[in-house]
Amino acid sequence: MNILILEILLKVIHLYTYLLVIYALLSWFPGAYDSALGRFISSIVEPLIAPFRRLNLQFAGLDFTIWAVVIVLNVLTRLLAYILL
């Protein structure tokens, strides 16, 4: 039973990582955050990104906040996989 829960959690983290990448790619298109898809993805992703925005990870005009979240999710995935095995 615990293995099933961990596998589902790993899949959710994997899906969330894809949503973060899509969210980052939306910044390349003007007005993409104002579309229905942009608002939907923002409502899912912003609660996790908000604490990382306080770290001020902007350098030379580039925002590395999303990549910091992806790295943290990657570490979390590896920890959960270690628990699973």
pLDDT digits (tens, 9 = 90+) for 2-49: 788 888 888 999 999 999 999 999 989 999 999 999 999 999 999 999
Residue 13 has a pLDDT of: 92
Q: Give alpha helix (H) positions in the chain.
A: 2-26, 36-53, 65-84
Inform me whether the pLDDT recorded for 74 exceeds 90.
Answer: yes
Residue type, 73: L
The pTM of the whole model exceeds 0.75: yes
